[in-house]
Amino acid sequence: MCIMLLLLLLLINLSCVLCSITDPSPKLVIDNDAGGDDAMAIFLALLYEKHYNGPKLIGLTTVNGNTNEDNVCLNNQRVLKIIKRQDVPIYRGSKSSLVRTPDAGHYYGKDGLGDSGKYLDGLKPAHTKNAVEALIDLSKEHKDQLTVVTLGALTNVALAIKLDPDFLSRIAHLYVGAGHIHNDSWPKAEFNAHMDVEAYHVVAAHATPDRVTFLPFSQVQQHCNFTVEWRKDVLGAIPTDIMRAQNLFEQVSLASQESWQALDPAAVAAAINPSLVDEFKFSRHDIVTCGEKRGITTNEFLEKENANARIVYSYKTEKYKQFLLDIFKLE
């Protein structure tokens, strides 16, 4: 009897080991600063996972940005509760930038999610492991299977690179929603890049085009720029609990906008469904760290062998628009 029990336990353990080895499914971590657009991006990823067999979201990591990190953590808890995915762990990250922490303002409201005061009960606590440690550990556990998407300042990822120089070589890909392709139309630093310039520089300095893709907000403004009326009366009219919550989360920002340009869902969409991207380009990419042009991202477009990054240059606008409608009609 004891021998049979021992054999059974050995078989169970062997099965668990084999499952962990032979599970090649892609995994996803979203590093975010939990404004209204981050909420939409997280909803998008989880709906795509559920209904389209998309990458499995295995963690949210928090960073100071659209709101302070305490609110970011709380907002991540709220989003996961709404979509009934409180199994996804939240790993708390940096409360400030590496060197200089700019004032972020209150574009999405003082709490980052429209100041509705809703969805605050029954929340699951964050994981005890911090964001940087989690990023490093998950990159080892899911080597070559993990995609990381950043939707805010790059502080956590920069710290992971500094603590573990092999971090980027282990992940499948890093998608960075930040920066601009600068010209006269975009003379100022983009918000996410501006929030931690030094962290952005660290990531760019260690990037390779096979591992790192930057998604400039300027390109979202060009190719994923929709009317506020469409956002409110078409996308926002979808009668699901998720979209009703999303409408509340964006109520402050929508009141001040003339058009709807959301970087974060566009960034996640490009990562989980690259067919939505019309054109990628390769670039020698960096950021200005000093002087009047601090925070300005630079691009020298050239052949892949001379580049350090891939750039999302344009989206398939109508296909992306329909993608949002198709995803958010689901529960």
pLDDT of residue 24: 81
How confident is residue 66, by pLDDT bands cut at 50, 70 and 90? very high
Confidence label for 7 from pLDDT (cuts 50, 70 and 90): low
What pLDDT is recorded for position 175? 98
Residue 21 domain flag: no
Report pTM.
0.93
pLDDT at 6 over 90: no
Answer whether residue 12 is part of any domain.
no
| Domain count across the chain | 1
pLDDT at 4 over 60: no
* Ramachandran bin of 190, using left for φ above 0, alpha for ψ from -120 to 50, beta for the remaining angles: beta
C-alpha to C-alpha distance for 36 and 251, rounded to whole angstroms: 9
pLDDT digits (tens, 9 = 90+) for 27-59: 999 999 999 999 999 999 999 999 999 999 999
Query: What would the two tokens of residue 232 be?
Result: 């409110």
Residue 296 lies in a domain: yes
Give strand pairing partners of 215: 177
Residue 144 backbone zone (phi > 0: left; psi -120 to 50: alpha; other: beta):
left
Question: At 179, is the pLDDT very low, low, confident or very high (cuts 50, 70, 90)?
Answer: very high
Instruction: Please tell me whether residue 17 adopts helix, strand or coil conformation.
Output: helix
Q: What is the pLDDT of residues 89-110, one digit of tens each?
A: 999 999 999 999 999 999 999 9
Give the CATH number for residue 230: 3.90.245.10
pLDDT the model gives residue 187: 86
At residue 10, the pLDDT reads 56
In a domain, residue 11? The reply is no
At residue 184, the pLDDT reads 81
Structural domain for 270, as ranges: 27-328
Q: How many CB atoms lie within 10 A of CB 5?
A: 9
At residue 8, the pLDDT reads 52
> Which one is predicted more confidently, 3 or 294?
294
- Residue 20's pLDDT is what? 47
Alpha helices in 191-260 (DSSP H): 191-195, 197-206, 217-223, 228-233, 241-249, 251-255
Long-range contacts of 74-77 (CB under 8 A, 24+ apart): 74/111, 74/120, 74/123, 75/34, 75/38, 75/39, 75/111, 75/112, 75/113, 76/32, 76/34, 76/42, 76/126, 77/123, 77/124, 77/126
Q: CB within 8 A of 318, min separation 6: which ones?
A: none
Name the percent of the chain lying above pLDDT 90: 90
Determine the 3-state secondary structure of 138 from DSSP: helix
- Neighbour count for residue 3 (Cβ, 10 Å): 7
Q: Tell whether 204 is covered by a domain.
A: yes
pLDDT of residue 270: 98
The answer to whether residue 17 sits within a structural domain is no
What confidence score (pLDDT) does residue 276 get? 98
Residue 274 dihedral angles phi and psi, to the nearest 5°: -60, -15
- In angstroms, rounded to a whole number, what is the distance separating the alpha carbons of residues 138 and 157? 13
Distance CA 6, CA 8 (A): 5
Quickly tell me which residue has 């998604």 as its tokens: 215
Neighbours of 198 (CB within 10 A): 15
Report how far residue 7's alpha carbon sits from residue 75's, in angstroms, rounded to the nearest whole number: 47
Assign 297 to helix, strand or coil: strand
Q: Is the pLDDT of residue 325 over 50?
A: yes
The first and second tokens of residue 107, run together, are 């574009």
pLDDT of residue 183: 85
Residue carrying structure tokens 């869902």: 265
Residue 194 lies in a domain: yes
pLDDT tens for each residue of 115-124? 999 999 999 9
How high is the mean pLDDT of the chain?
A: 94
pLDDT (tens digit per residue) in 79-92: 999 999 999 999 99
Mean pLDDT of 214-233: 98
Q: What is the pLDDT of residue 19?
A: 46
Q: What percent of the chain is modeled with pLDDT above 70?
A: 93
Return the residue matching tokens 């930038």: 97
Mean pLDDT within 67-77: 98
What distances in angstroms separate CA 138 from CA 42, 48, 130, 132, 180, one per listed residue? 19, 21, 12, 10, 29
**Size (the chain), residues:** 331
Other C-beta atoms within 10 Å of 95: how many? 14
* Residue 160 parent element (H or E): helix 155-163
Instruction: Count helices and strands (H / E) in the chain.
Output: 14, 11
Classify residue 19: in a domain, yes or no.
no
Kindly report the three-state secondary structure assignment for every residue of 302-319.
CCHHHCCEEEEEEECHHH
